[in-house]
Amino acid sequence: MLALTAANLFTPIERIDRPLLLVDDGMVVEVTSRLSRAVPGGARLVDFGDSVLAPGFVDIHIHGGGGHDVMEADSGALPAVEALIARHGVSSYFPTTVTASVENIVAALDRLATAIEAYGDGRRGGLRAQPLGIHLEGPFISHPRRGVHPPELLLQPSFKIFEDFWQAARGHIKLMTVAPDLPGSQELIAEAVKRGICVSLGHSDADFKTARNAVAAGARHATHTFNAMRPLSHREPGIIGEVLTDSRLTADFIADGIHVDPAIVKLLWQTKGPDRSVLITDAISATGMGDGRYPLGSLEVEVKDGKCMSNGKLAGSVLTMDQAIRNLMRFADCSLQQALRPATLNPARVTGAAEGKGLLAAGAAADIVVLSPTGELRQTIIGGYGL
């Protein structure tokens, strides 16, 4: 058994000073304080000094990293992505597809499902983040708000094509971005929800009423809020108005200072609050690399000075989750404990597929990050591995 201690621990809901975190066989056994509990006999004590212990980060929207894209056929792609994001505190993630031909999406979903089913305890090939489920972003998105998704490959919602995707993914699609302004979207949303998928509104030109109808059909989340959405207007609030005002919706956003102005990040934080805000990276293969040209699905993206562009449009990011947390602290003037929740517990709860993730409590996975008091990452532990 391992006994971990530090200056503080954020569960993230609760703060514990001088914590004692007991870990055995990759699981959290007990979370308490050294003020009330002695270190068990025979346990190996690891003291992280002035550090903060927190749950490993959960990224529900990520396309790649370390020079690789999650849709690649290369067997080394996912391990490279998983190793990179683990070095930035991510212990669990949802590999995210982009619009491609139906054949290419089906093939990618099959590979990702195999990777999810084959994942061990984090020890295979070193410290690596665990894929928990698939985020299907596209092809059911609108032309006016498609971003860099190839226009010729966008599709109207189709039960047949959705069923093909579902079968290829063997039930591992846990999050799906849908534009509610497309014909047939309400029916598709309802069907996806029946199958346990969290439907996220995004890449959409929907007006306020249409977006609200999608929520009534079962949608419960919003994809990279403000980006690839009809702009907010004081007379026609549109999809953003629905996202900001409906308490049934959680909302994710890219806090890189490029996709959304810091003032808008603060507005979103004040509107959705620490309970319904979710940090994502939307990271592409260029993450962790230098300037240059990198793949995003079938697209080529040029990266310069941290900005990812394709055909004059933003195309993902090179943001890491540890940096996103520090940015949120600065942009929204919030504490480290507050900023951790949108990167841990909230994304784990959004999909419903991350049981035992995003929270440090007895029975949870021993996915732990060791941070400085100001949020710099010092160490990542996944399933107890890394100590």
pLDDT range class, residue 126, cuts 50, 70, 90: confident
Query: CB neighbours (10 Å) of residue 85?
Result: 29
Contact 64, 81 (CB under 8 A): yes
Q: What is the CATH number of domain 57-354?
A: 3.20.20.140
Structure confidence at residue 120 (pLDDT): 63
Architecture of domain 1-56+358-387 in this structure: Roll (2.30)
When pLDDT is averaged across residues 122-138 and rounded to a whole number, the result is 85
Please give the positions annotated as active site: 282
Confidence of residue 121 (pLDDT cuts 50, 70, 90): very low
**What are the pLDDT digits (tens) for 133-190?**
999 999 999 999 999 999 999 999 999 999 999 999 999 999 999 999 999 999 999 9
> What does the pLDDT look like over 297-356, one tens digit per residue?
888 999 999 999 999 999 999 999 999 999 999 999 999 999 999 999 999 999 987 789
pLDDT, position 354? 76
Q: Parse the chain into domains and list their residue ranges.
A: 1-56+358-387, 57-354
What's the pTM value of the predicted model, to 2 decimals?
A: 0.97
User: pLDDT (tens digit, 9 = 90+) per residue, 57-107?
Assistant: 999 999 999 999 999 999 999 999 999 999 999 999 999 999 999 999 999
**DSSP string covering 229-285:** BPPP-SS--HHHHHHHH-TT-EEEEE-SSSSS-HHHHHHHHHHHHHHHEEEE--B-T
pLDDT band at 125 (very low <50, low <70, confident <90, very high): low
Q: Give the pLDDT of residue 122.
A: 47
Helical axes 102-118 vs 159-169, angle rounded to 10°: 30
Check pLDDT > 50 for residue 231: yes
pLDDT (average), residues 236-262: 98
Distance from C-alpha of 201 to C-alpha of 373, rounded to nearest angstrom = 35
- What pLDDT does residue 341 have? 98
Handedness of CA 202, 166, 283, 326 (dihedral sign): positive
Question: Where do we find the tokens 């404990």?
Answer: 337
Give, to the nearest 10 degrees, the angle between helix 238-245 and helix 208-217. Answer: 50
